[in-house]
Amino acid sequence: MPKYIVEREILNAAALSAAELRGIAKRTCEVIQQLGPRIQWVMSYVTEDKLTCVYIAPNPDLIREHARRGGLPADRVLEVWNVIDPTTAEPAEPAPPLPTSRATDVGQI
């Protein structure tokens, strides 16, 4: 199933209290329960003026519906096409050879 990044522009998001963040998380979970197992919230990053969230869903429309029901903005919904990390820079190594098995002669058993 596709993975999406959702950008939510929220003025002074970094200043949200623990109680406010808990409220957002609770609302998010409640709406996900209403929508069923086709959508999954993975995590969110809180930065200065934005919540950047990671979701798994069959399509971006379901994510937008989640945002609408939860009363949250969904300013950008971006499908993740690939993931890279420091190991991506490493040269590709050939696969190790498969172990060989010894064929035994039936007459030797």
Decide if 15 is inside a domain: yes
CATH, residue 16: 3.30.70.3090
Decide if 23 is inside a domain: yes
Decide if 106 is inside a domain: no
Decide if 62 is inside a domain: yes
Report how many domains make up the chain: 1
The Cα-based distances of 102 to 3, 54, 79, 105, 106 in angstroms read 46, 50, 49, 9, 12
Give every residue of the chain whose pLDDT is below 70, as ranges. 101-109
- The pTM of the full predicted model, rounded to 2 decimals, is 0.80
Burial class of 101 by CB neighbour count within 10 A (0 to 12, 13 to 18, 19+): exposed
Decide if 20 is inside a domain: yes
Domain hosting 11: range is: 3-82
Q: Please report where in the chains the tokens 């809180």 appear, as a residue.
A: 46
pLDDT digits (tens, 9 = 90+) for 4-17: 999 999 999 999 99
Decide if 51 is inside a domain: yes
Decide if 75 is inside a domain: yes
DSSP letter (8 states) at residue 17: -
